[in-house]
């Protein structure tokens, strides 16, 4: 009797678990290795505020969120995209709903029940888990040998194929520390530098007074716009948060790739903050010029335009006392407060990372050209996307694609679970 081939999946995040699911359904012997005491730690953290599984927007729009990597990710997402994610969750007994933003969530908003159901199904399919197994990176892939550090000492295992799903380099305490990058480079796999994505920035130039009073407070119902030195433009309404040294939050994350790249190229990036996006420049100027009698300027701005708190505070950051008294300059600044940014926050604070294994180093099945039988998936690939369910969906889609590649490489047939 011929034994089924053995596949080692290194990394127990969404990409690795999805690879394990597809491989398990093929009849392969699947072993998942992870350095942490349990799998899915970043997945659980992402679900603390409500697990955003995917997005309900039209598929062509969804594909466009991956920018320059759309061509590489589109075939994977065509096979396991937003609709397939919802069907997969339903198959685990987890119903989903579409929120007002178009994002898709489990009905209970929680990650833990879904992860428990997923792990139960994987174990039922014969997938074996090996926790506290940290891959040492110096394995001889030619001999199909993998070395791991474990609490009881070093161990070596052999596999017929390997799926690497080691994550990026953010939130290292949850397991993704990017330590794999030099290891793969040493084996001839081209790796783009890992960079923060969906991240905050330093350098807004806050005074001590502003920082001490408003750090941690949100700018609500605002808009930002930014045009980089190559003419690429971003403009969107939303909200974000002031930090002690700069800015962060959903609206900033959406523009973070452009801002990050501009800082790298030019040394800084200046975005424009519109404090009243629902009012025209003419309306704002008329309100500022309106006679205020004995009222103070701050009372006038609050009464006529609703500007108070952090929004009033940022105007004092941008304008001198004299400039605040100039209606034309004040009105123009209300519609376009310049915020100069000089650095991203550290990569370990970022929601996700850009960079990773370049697609040119892989074949169409996500197998490394320099290491036959070794596949890569998830955030360790060279792509990025905004928040909104895109990161999780593409990670799972690439895990499934890498598994299909391994199945094809091993010459086994995938069969329904």
Question: Splitting the chain (417 residues) into consecutive groups of 10 residues, what average pLDDT does each group show?
Answer: 83 97 96 96 86 96 95 97 97 96 95 96 97 84 78 94 95 90 94 97 92 97 97 96 96 96 97 98 96 90 95 96 95 97 96 97 96 95 95 97 96 59
3 state SS of 115: helix
**Contact, 163 vs 214, CB < 8 A?**
no
Non-local (6+) Cβ contacts of 198 within 8 A are 253, 256, 350, 351, 352, 384, 386, 387, 391
Tokens of 417: 């679970």
pLDDT value at position 145? Answer: 82
pLDDT of 139 reads: 53
Distance, in Å, from the CA atom of 55 to the CA atom of 58, rounded to the nearest integer, reads 9
Domains of the chain: 6-196+352-410 (3.50.50.60), 201-344 (no CATH)
For residue 141, what pLDDT is reported? Answer: 58
Contact indicator for 343, 199 with CB cutoff of 8 Å? no
The pLDDT score that the predictor gives to residue 417 is 36
The H or E element containing residue 223 is strand 218-227
| Both tokens assigned to 165 | 């799903």
Q: What is the pLDDT of residue 140?
A: 56
Contacts of 146 (CB under 8 A, 6+ apart): 8, 10, 33, 135, 139, 156, 157, 158, 159, 162
Can you give the length of the chain in residues?
Answer: 417
pLDDT at residue 414 in the model = 47
In angstroms, the Cα distances linking 207 to 314, 316, 324, 354 are: 10, 10, 17, 32
Specify whether the CB–CB gap between 16 and 42 falls below 8 A: no
- Which among 132, 147, 128, 163 has a CA at the least distance from the CA of 35? 132
């Amino acid at each position: 009797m011929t034994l089924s081939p053995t596949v080692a999946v290194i990394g127990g995040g969404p990409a690795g678990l999805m690879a394990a699911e597809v491989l398990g359904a093929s009849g392969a012997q699947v072993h998942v290795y992870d350095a942490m005491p349990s799998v899915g730690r970043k997945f659980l953290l992402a679900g603390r505020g409500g697990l955003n599984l995917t997005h309900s927007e039209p598929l062509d729009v969804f594909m466009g969120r991956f920018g320059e990597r759309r061509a590489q990710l589109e075939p994977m997402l065509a096979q396991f995209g937003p609709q397939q994610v919802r069907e997969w969750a339903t198959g685990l007994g987890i119903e989903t709903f579409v929120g007002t933003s178009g994002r898709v969530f489990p009905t209970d908003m929680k990650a833990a029940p879904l992860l428990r159901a997923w792990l139960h199904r994987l174990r039922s399919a014969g997938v074996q888990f090996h926790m506290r197994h940290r891959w040492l990176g110096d394995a001889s892939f030619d001999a199909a040998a993998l070395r791991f550090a474990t609490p009881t000492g070093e161990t070596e295992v052999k596999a017929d194929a390997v799926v690497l799903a080691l994550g990026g380099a953010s939130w290292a305490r949850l397991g993704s520390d990017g330590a794999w990058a030099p290891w793969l480079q040493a084996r001839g796999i081209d790796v783009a530098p890992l960079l923060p994505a969906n991240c905050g920035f330093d350098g807004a130039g806050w005074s001590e007074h502003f920082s001490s009073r408003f750090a941690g407070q949100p700018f609500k119902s605002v808009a930002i716009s930014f045009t980089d030195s190559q003419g690429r433009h971003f403009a969107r309404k939303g909200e974000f948060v002031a930090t002690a040294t700069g800015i962060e939050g959903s609206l900033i994350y959406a523009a973070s790739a452009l801002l990050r790249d501009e800082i790298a190229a030019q040394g800084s990036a200046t975005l424009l903050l519109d404090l009243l996006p629902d009012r025209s420049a003419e309306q704002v100027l008329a309100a500022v010029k309106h006679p205020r009698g004995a009222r103070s300027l701050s009372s006038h701005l609050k009464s006529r335009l609703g500007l108070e708190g952090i929004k009033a505070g940022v105007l004092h950051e941008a304008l001198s006392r004299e400039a605040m008294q100039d209606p034309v300059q004040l009105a123009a600044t209300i519609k376009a407060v310049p915020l100069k940014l000089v650095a991203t926050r550290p990569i370990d604070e970022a929601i996700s990372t850009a960079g990773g294994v370049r697609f040119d180093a892989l074949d169409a099945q996500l197998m490394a050209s320099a290491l036959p039988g070794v596949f890569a998936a998830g955030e360790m690939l060279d792509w990025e996307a905004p928040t909104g369910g895109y990161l999780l969906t593409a990670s799972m889609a690439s895990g499934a694609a890498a598994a299909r590649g391994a199945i094809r490489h091993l010459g086994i047939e995938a069969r329904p679970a």
